[in-house]
Copies of this chain bind each other. A is one copy, B any other.
Amino acid sequence: MSDIDLLALRQSSTLSELVADKMEKLILSGKLAAGERINEAVLAKELGVSRGPVREASMLLTSRGLVEFIAFRGAFVRKISRAELLEIYDLRAVLTGQACYLAALKAGGNAGPLNDLHDRMEKAADSNKADRYYELNLKFHECLVDMAGSSRLRTMIDSLVNEMHLYRQVSLRSHPDMAQSNREHRAILDAIIQGDAEKARKLGEAHVRAGKQRFEAAGAETLVEDE
């Protein structure tokens, strides 16, 4: 567990937030394993702060869906079952659909950076660079939600995506059919540019559902995430 505490150089940010960011990384990287209890005193010492900020950070992460708080027992890294993961896919599909719907309404024929991202993803897919594709894919979805312009929606989707990463502390990236995935992106993009909000919703939903089906089709071990 790394403890190069750059905590000192905080700028207009509170210690609790910095600790929360650090903890988020520890959790998403698996250094704090799913199901594990987070010992306030130990973590506080490792980070060079007192228990207060660690407590507050834990609560912050609770609202981000990464941590579960139990009174007098402590904060636990959340553990996601297969059934829950499938449930999350469904919720994310519905919310992503709404994001596409709103994006189409607000775009006004101009899809902004999405076009560029799509092109770069196509290149990554052609040259079979899965890591690069994964990275751009994250940006694409982020950008999509930004276009929708609803902070609530963003928070909800981010939280769900976070939770997905807790499934069996495994990194979800994988090597699916990038070309197919990006064709779906193209279709969503077109609907948004045309301003066809209902179509965008349907395609957005279907895109995430396709990801779910890829996951279900694969074994429980081989995880598939790039949509």
CB distance from A92 to the nearest CB of B (A): 10
Interface: A127 (CB within 8 A): no
Cβ B94 vs Cβ A13 within 8 A: no
Inter-subunit contact B60/A91 (CB<8 Å): no
A190 at interface by CB-CB < 8 Å: no
> Min CB distance, A48 to chain B, in Å?
20
Q: What is the CB-to-nearest-CB distance from A41 to chain B, in angstroms, rounded to a whole number?
A: 17
CB < 8 Å: which of B63, B94, B153 contacts A63?
A: B63
Q: Which residue of B lies closest to A63 (CB)?
A: B63
The answer on a CB contact under 8 Å between B87 and A150 is yes
A194 to chain B, nearest CB (A): 21
16 A-B residue contacts at CB 8 Å?
A14-B71, A14-B72, A17-B71, A56-B56, A62-B63, A65-B152, A84-B152, A87-B153, A88-B152, A90-B98, A90-B102, A91-B95, A91-B150, A91-B153, A94-B95, A94-B98
Chain B residues positioned under 8 Å from A163 (CB to CB): 152
Residues 164 to 216 of chain A near chain B (Cβ within 8 Å): none
Bound-state CA distance A94–B90 (Å) is 12
Q: How far is the CA of A13 from the CA of B150 in the complex (A)?
A: 35
